[in-house]
């Protein structure tokens, strides 16, 4: 694999590098550690002198940032190169990944909790949403992982989910990695207010039962398809079907399983190749564990 690891020298960025040391990469895998000396836009011309001074300081520190991250990756038997870039961080990372034909972009995230969790960091969020490449965002909880890895592979049977399964199969996870394949069934009458449900329960009970039977049948087929993609790669595979809102059930399942990674496809893409669907956005922002977004 070709991995682009973006680092800004922060604890979160170096934690992402440490997380990668848990994988079984080989000498055929290539890592490019990228650091961006970010542009600063000043409105007043007289600020240009200060900008030049700040940029010089950044240029002096940049090699140390790259060297620190490379030293973390040394236990891996991989090819490691570095790149020092100028520009806006998010765009520079996306462009670099395209230029090197990276298979995966890896970045650390602060993992802010609460309502601000949607702001996982503007650079990480922008790269995940707009890059056409697969992206792994490593959250703080996984930066000190010691035990075997647990992956929650959420699938809806779409081509994006299929690509995510292929990505999982191509990554050098440890042999004892456990994968749980999850399919979520959205309720057919979830938008019906609670106070009206009792009045119509008897009338729709039979209808709902028939629909639910078909929905579970579809979910079984989706899971079967997903398992067929990854079963040659992973020895420990479990399956799970949940009923409810996809993003909520995926997040709940991840907590229930104490998952290290949620793997999901970027379904619902429009316009720019990498734009995420609402469920993927929610998971990316609110998951406490790391998130792997598969792209097509």
- List the CATH code of the domain at 147-296: 3.40.50.620
Tokens linked to 64:
């140390």
Q: How far apart are CA 196 and CA 224, in angstroms?
A: 36
CATH of 1-144, one of 3.40.190.10, 3.40.50.300, 3.40.50.620, 3.50.50.60: 3.40.50.620
Domain(s) labelled CATH 3.40.50.620 in the chain stretch across: 1-144, 147-296
- Beta-strand pair 290-294/134-138: antiparallel
Whole-model pTM? 0.85
Q: If you average pLDDT over residues 250-267, what whole number do you get?
A: 92
State pLDDT tens for residues 145-173.
667 899 999 999 989 999 999 999 999 99
Percent composition of the chain: helix, strand, coil (DSSP 3-state, to 5): 45, 20, 30
More confident residue, 194 or 84: 84
Q: Which two tokens stand for residue 123?
A: 């650079």
Beta carbons within 8 Å of 73's beta carbon, 6+ residues apart: 5, 17, 20, 21, 31, 33, 80
Residue 166: the pLDDT is 96
Tell me whether strands 150-154 and 134-138 are parallel, antiparallel or unpaired: unpaired
Residue at token pair 């995940």:
128
How far is 68 from 84, CA to CA, in rounded Å? 14
pLDDT band at residue 210 under the 50/70/90 scheme: low
Q: Is the dihedral of CA 30, 263, 176, 259 positive or negative?
A: positive
Q: What is the tens place of the pLDDT at every residue in 79-90?
A: 999 999 988 899
């Amino acid at each position: 694999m070709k991995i682009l690891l973006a680092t800004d020298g922060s604890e979160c960025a170096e934690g992402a590098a440490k997380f990668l040391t848990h994988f079984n990469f080989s000498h055929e895998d290539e890592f490019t550690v990228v650091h961006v000396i970010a542009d600063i836009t000043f409105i007043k011309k007289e600020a240009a002198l200060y900008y030049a001074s700040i940029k010089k300081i950044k240029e002096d520190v940049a090699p140390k940032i790259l060297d620190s991250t490379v030293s973390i990756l040394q236990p891996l038997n991989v090819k490691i190169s570095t790149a020092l870039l100028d520009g806006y961080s998010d765009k520079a990372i996306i462009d670099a990944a395209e230029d090197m034909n990276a298979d995966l972009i890896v970045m650390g995230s602060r993992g802010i909790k609460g309502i601000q969790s949607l702001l996982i960091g503007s650079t990480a969020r922008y790269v995940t949403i707009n890059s056409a490449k697969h992206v792994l965002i490593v959250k703080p909880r996984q930066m000190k992982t010691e035990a075997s890895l647990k992956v929650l592979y959420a699938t809806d049977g779409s081509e994006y989910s299929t690509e995510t399964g292929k990505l999982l199969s191509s990554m050098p996870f440890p042999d004892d990695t456990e994968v749980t394949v999850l399919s979520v069934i959205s309720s057919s009458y979830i938008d019906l207010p609670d106070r009206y449900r009792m009045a119509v329960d008897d009338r729709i009970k039979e209808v709902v039962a028939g629909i639910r039977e078909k929905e579970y049948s579809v979910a079984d087929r989706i899971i079967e398809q997903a398992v067929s993609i990854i079963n040659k790669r992973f020895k420990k595979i479990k399956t799970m079907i949940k009923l409810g809102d996809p993003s909520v059930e995926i997040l709940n399942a991840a907590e229930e399983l104490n998952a290290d990674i949620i793997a999901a496809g970027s379904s619902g893409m429009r316009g720019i190749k990498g734009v995420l669907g609402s469920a993927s956005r929610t998971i990316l922002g609110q998951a406490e564990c790391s998130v792997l977004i598969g792209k097509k």
